[in-house]
Amino acid sequence: MAEQDVVVDNRVAAVVIMAAGAGTRMRSAIPKVLHRIAGKSLVALAIDTADALEPDRLVVVVGHQREQVTQHLAEVAPHVTIAVQERPLGTGDAVRAGMSALPGITGEVVVTSGDVPLLTGQTLQELVAAHREDGNAVTLLTAVVPDPTGYGRIVRDGDEVARIVEHADASDAELDLTEINSGIYVFDAATLAEGLAALEAGNAKGELYLTDVVAHARAAGRRVGARILADHLQTEGVNDRAQLAERAAELNRRILAGWMAAGVTVLDPATTWVQAGVDLAEDVTLLPGTSLEGATSVSRGATIGPDTTLIDVEVGENARVLRTHAELAVIGPDATVGPFAYLRPGTELGVRVHVGAFVETKKAIVGDGAKVPHLTYCGDAEIGPGANIGAGTIFANYDGVTKSTSTVGAHSFIGSDSVLVAPVHIADGAYVAAGSTITGDVGPGELAVSRGQQRNIRGWVARKRSGTRTAAAAEAALNRAEAGDEGSAPMESGE
C-alpha cells in the first residue's frame, strides 16, 4: 500500500491576542497596534499569524483608545471577538479579560501579542506541536537573545521551566540568564483559568503577571515546557518609532528573500519595498527605488522601476513600468509606462499600450496598441485600439459641475496641443489637427480643425519693443535680407 501523507491538525480552541497597551513611547495619537508595517497594522499582522492555527475562537483584547482599534478590527478582521481590559493592570489581567469572552472553553488556548510583527504562523504551529508532543499543561516560546535587558528570564529545572522572573524582580544571578520569555504561550484552558483566578499583584509593579500562571501550574504539579526559537527576531516587539522602523526593515528583507527564492530579481533590496499583500510571478524584475503596495500583482517577465510606486495595481506579462506612480490601475501585457507617468484610479491600459513621459490618466481606458506618449492629461476617456494622442493633449473632462467622458476611436490621431472638451466623440479613423479645441463630434475619416487663422504683423517688434535685444536682432535680420544674404523678405501679412 502506498504511503500516505500525514495530515497535521494545528487547530486550537482559541487564540487570545493582547492588544490593549498604551504604547506611550510611540508618542502618537494612533494606538500602537494600529501603526503599520508591510502595508498592514501590527494587530492585523498578529491576526494573520494567529489564523494559521485555525482557532475556533480568536479574541483580541483592547484597552487604550479602544474605539479606534475596534473600528479597525471591524474592517480588517470581522471574525474576531473583542474583549476589553478596562484598566492597564498587567498581562495577567489582559488575558483574564480575554478569557471572559470564552466561557466554558476547553482545549488549547494560545496567547500572543499584537506587537510582534515578525512572528510567523509556522512558529505558532510548531509551538502547538511541541506542546502536544511533550504533554505540557503550559508551553512557552522562548529565545536566547544578545541583550536580555527588560525581558523576563527563564529559570529552568532540567528540561522543564521552573519559573519566569521579571527583569524588575530578578536577582543578580537571574539577570545573567539570556533565555527570555517571549510572552507567547500555549495553555491547557483549565490550567489557564485556574492560574488566572489565583493571580495576585505581589510584584514590584503592582500588576497581575501572566507569568505567575506558570508558577501556579508548577505548584499544582503540572508540566511546564519551553520551545527555544532559534530566530529570536520573531519575538521582538515594537515599543517606539525606532523599533517600528527596524521591524519594518527586517520584515521587508524577509519578504524580498522569499520572492527572490521564488524567482523574482531584486536588483537592490536595500531600496526595494514589497508589502505583505503583493503577488509576484517568476522572472519579474524589480529595480532600485521600487515600492509595491496593497494588493499589487505583477505578471511574469515584467520590469518595475526604478523609482516606481504601485498601489493596488495589476501589471501584465512583460510590461515595463519606469519612474511611475500608479494606484488602482491595470497595466496590460507588453505595455510601457513612463518615465514620470501618473496613473490614477480607474486607468486600464490594454496590450502594447504606451503611456509616456509626464502623462496623467484617470478613469481612462486605453485600447490595445494605443499611444499616449507625452505631456497629456487623459481623464475620463476611452481611447480605441491603435489611436495616437499627440503631445500636450488635454481631455477637458470637468465643466465645474459635471465630469464627462470623451472617446477617441480606433486608429484615430489627435494632433499635438489639442483640447477635447467633454463629452465629445472622435470616431474611428479620424484626425484632429494640432492646436485644435474640439467641442463637437468628429465623424469617421474626417479631419477636425478648430483654430484661428495665423497673422504675421509686420513691424510690431520695432514699434512695441524698441530698444530691446529682440528688436536689435530683428533689425539685423531685416538688413541682411535686404542685402540679399537671407533671400527675399517674408511675405507681407495684413495688420
Please tell me whether the peptide bond between 103 and the residue prior to it is cis, using omega within 30 degrees of 0: no
Query: Each residue of 188-210: b (16+ CB within 10 Å) or e?
Result: bbebbbbbbeebeeebeeebbbb
Nine cell digits for residue 402:
459635471
Q: Are strands 341-343 and 360-366 parallel, antiparallel or unpaired?
A: parallel
Nearest alpha carbon to residue 342 among 307, 318, 367, 316: 307
Spot the catalytic one: 72, 167, 374, 411.
374
- The angle formed by the CA atoms of residues 245, 246 and 251, to the nearest 5 degrees, is 100
Cβ proximity of 154 and 139 under 8 Å: no
Indicate if 374 belongs to the active site.
yes
- Burial (CB < 10 A; 0-12, 13-18, 19+), residue 3, is exposed
CA distance 273 to 242: 18
- Burial (CB < 10 A; 0-12, 13-18, 19+), residue 104, is exposed
Quick one: DSSP state of residue 361? E
CA distance 94 to 110: 14
Active site residues: 374
